[in-house]
């Protein structure tokens, strides 16, 4: 068969795609367990960091033990979405996984707020694909540390309860600095963080009402 | 022109080094060289990809229709890059979180496409494999040198280990952590290499 014939080209491409597709799938399958373990370890480390938990050692078991000893976990369903909610046993601080669209892709993180939902205790990011050196700096300590003890201004409009960047009053207590050169990432973070806080508050309210009216089981 | 393995190695590493002679692969050179550990994983990814893509493209060169050879090359390179990406994600997840975007960009690294088109598609498989390894090693040596300077100057560490009594005698240069620091280093290294290491060909 001539190499220039459409049938040869088609057959060649199908063969190449099949061989390399199988190769990629095999590598992925061979490393699947490691990928799942890494993902879990990363999530546990982030939760330990955001709740400031004492961890003895750096192994996956040490992080898991710290979480088991100090955190209670539950899932709350609200408007078709399930929230992963964590509660610190001694302080009753509440943490939940939030996410939203950043400048390039989805950003996911964990935020811890006080039991009365009045202020942010800490924030850490689980996953982001923002511009390295610019938007990706949201993970850096100087940025996340700004959120510690920042009050959530529930009396303000829903998109201004936490302000990232410029505020009408520069000394506003619910404001943190944006990242220079990453205005779009900072604005996107402010938008979806406020939206997530609002939805979470409603979810918690509904959950409390449900528990209040729940009839205790005789068993 | 027939090459010997020795010539191929010398060209890739020294005489026709992809960074300071061909000025290819500069994006990742600037981006990942602020930490030596990140650089080493990036170099592993690039050597793996150049070597295997060169070998595969050379093995298939007699069967690949000329009209679609570029598509085939990109497909082969992209497949190897995806494999490298999965392997780094499994073995070094923390490093992958930092260099992940650049690993994906290996697909567009001019060194790989350049070597595939200029060398592998016209030479025998083993020689092409040597050429891929040599180009990758040439790229890696320059990156490792730049990272070995940037990390101590920028962070006061080397491979993440703090330099002895750093706080007593050293104040970190923040510019070395940022891309401009890489520009300075690369510029100085290229000037040094072209002035003293390699003789320019007189036309």
Q: Do the bridges between strand A119-127 and strand A150-151 make them parallel or antiparallel, or are there none, so unpaired?
A: antiparallel
State whether residue B11 is helix, strand or coil. helix
Predicted local distance difference test score (pLDDT) of residue B170: 78
Best B69, B71, B90 member to test A by mutation, with max A CBs in 10 Å, is B90
Strand order in the sheet with A71-78: A71-78, A81-88, A94-101, A106-113, A119-127, A150-151
Using pLDDT thresholds of 50, 70 and 90, give the confidence band for residue A11: very high
The residues, ordered by sequence, that sit 6+ positions from B58 with a Cβ below 8 Å of its Cβ are B120, B121, B123, B124, B125, B127, B128, B129
The verdict on A92 touching B (C-beta cutoff 8 Å) is no
For A140-193, what is each residue's pLDDT tens digit? 899 999 999 999 999 988 888 999 988 888 888 889 999 887 889 999 999 999
Residues of chain B found within 8 Å of residue A132, distances taken between Cβ atoms: 31, 98, 101-102
**Under 8 Å between Cβ of B50 and B140:** no
Predicted local distance difference test score (pLDDT) of residue A133: 64
Q: What is the pTM of this model?
A: 0.77
Best B79, B91, B102 member to test A by mutation, with max A CBs in 10 Å, is B79
Q: Is the model's pLDDT at B200 over the cut of 80? A: no
Residues of chain B found within 8 Å of residue A17, distances taken between Cβ atoms: 75
For residue A56, count CB atoms less than 10 angstroms from its CB and return exposed for 0-12, middle for 13-18, buried for 19 or more: exposed
Stretch among A106-120, B4-18, B169-183 having the lowest mean pLDDT: B169-183
Predicted local distance difference test score (pLDDT) of residue B202: 57
**Under 8 Å between Cβ of B43 and B51:** no
Residue among A33, A62, A32 at smallest CA distance from A48: A62
Predicted local distance difference test score (pLDDT) of residue B15: 86
Q: How many CB atoms lie within 10 A of CB B194?
A: 14
ipTM of this complex > 0.90? no
Rounded mean pLDDT of A9-20?
Answer: 96
DSSP class of A79: T
Angle at A76 between CA A74 and CA A82, to 5 degrees: 110
Task: Say what percent of chain A tops pLDDT 70.
Answer: 95
Please state, rounded to an integer, the average pLDDT across all residues of chain A.
90
Buried b (16+ CB within 10 A) or exposed e, B1-39: eeeeeebbbebbbbebbbbbbbebbbebbbbbbbbbbbb
Secondary-structure breakdown of chain A: helix, strand, coil percentages, each rounded to the nearest 5:
45, 20, 35
**Under 8 Å between Cβ of A168 and A137:** no
Using pLDDT thresholds of 50, 70 and 90, give the confidence band for residue A219: low
Token pair 């229709």 is at which residue?
A: B65
For B12-53, what is each residue's pLDDT tens digit? 888 888 898 888 888 888 888 888 988 998 899 999 999 999
Rounded mean pLDDT of B112-122?
Answer: 91
The verdict on B72 touching A (C-beta cutoff 8 Å) is yes
Predicted local distance difference test score (pLDDT) of residue A190: 94
- The rounded distance, in Å, linking the Cα atoms of A163 and A175 is 5
Q: Is the model's pLDDT at B172 over the cut of 90? A: no
Q: Is the model's pLDDT at A132 over the cut of 80? A: no
Predicted local distance difference test score (pLDDT) of residue B108: 78
């Amino acid at each position: 068969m001539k190499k220039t014939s459409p049938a040869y080209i088609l057959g060649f491409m199908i063969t190449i795609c099949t061989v390399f597709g199988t190769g990629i799938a095999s590598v992925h399958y061979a490393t699947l367990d490691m990928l799942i373990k890494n993902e879990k370890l990363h999530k546990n480390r982030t939760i330990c960091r955001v709740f400031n938990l004492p961890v003895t050692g750096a192994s996956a078991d040490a992080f898991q033990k710290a979480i088991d000893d100090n955190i209670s976990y539950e899932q709350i369903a609200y408007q078709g979405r399930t929230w992963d909610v964590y509660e610190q046993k001694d302080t009753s601080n509440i943490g939940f996984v939030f996410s939203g669209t950043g400048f390039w892709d989805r950003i996911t993180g964990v935020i811890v707020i006080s039991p009365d939902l009045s202020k942010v205790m800490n924030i850490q990011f689980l996953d982001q694909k923002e511009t390295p050196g610019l938007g990706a700096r949201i993970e850096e300590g100087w940025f996340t540390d700004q959120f510690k003890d920042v009050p959530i201004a529930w009396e303000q409009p829903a998109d201004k309860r936490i302000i990232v960047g410029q505020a009408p009053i520069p000394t506003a207590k619910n404001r943190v600095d944006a990242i220079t050169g990453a205005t779009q990432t900072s604005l996107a973070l402010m938008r979806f963080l406020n939206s997530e806080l609002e939805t979470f508050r409603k979810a918690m309210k509904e959950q409390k009402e449900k528990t209040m009216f729940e009839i205790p089981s005789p068993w | 022109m027939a090459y010997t393995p020795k010539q191929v190695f010398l060209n890739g590493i020294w005489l026709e080094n992809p960074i300071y002679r061909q000025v290819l692969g500069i994006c990742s050179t600037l981006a990942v060289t602020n930490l030596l550990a990140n650089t080493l994983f990036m170099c592993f990814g690039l050597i793996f990809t150049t070597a295997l893509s060169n070998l595969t493209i050379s093995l298939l060169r007699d069967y690949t229709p000329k009209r679609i050879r570029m598509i085939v090359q990109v497909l082969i390179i992209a497949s190897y890059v995806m494999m490298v990406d999965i392997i780094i994600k499994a073995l070094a997840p923390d490093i992958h979180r930092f260099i992940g975007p650049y690993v994906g960009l290996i697909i567009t690294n001019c060194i790989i496409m350049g070597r595939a088109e200029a060398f592998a598609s016209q030479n025998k498989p083993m020689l092409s494999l040597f050429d891929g390894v040599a180009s990758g090693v040439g790229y890696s040596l320059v990156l490792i040198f730049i990272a070995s300077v940037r990390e101590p100057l920028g962070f006061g560490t080397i491979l993440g280990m703090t330099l002895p009594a750093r706080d007593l005698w050293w104040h970190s240069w923040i510019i070395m952590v940022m891309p401009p620091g890489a520009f300075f280093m690369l510029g100085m290294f290229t000037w040094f290499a072209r002035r003293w290491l390699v003789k320019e060909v007189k036309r």
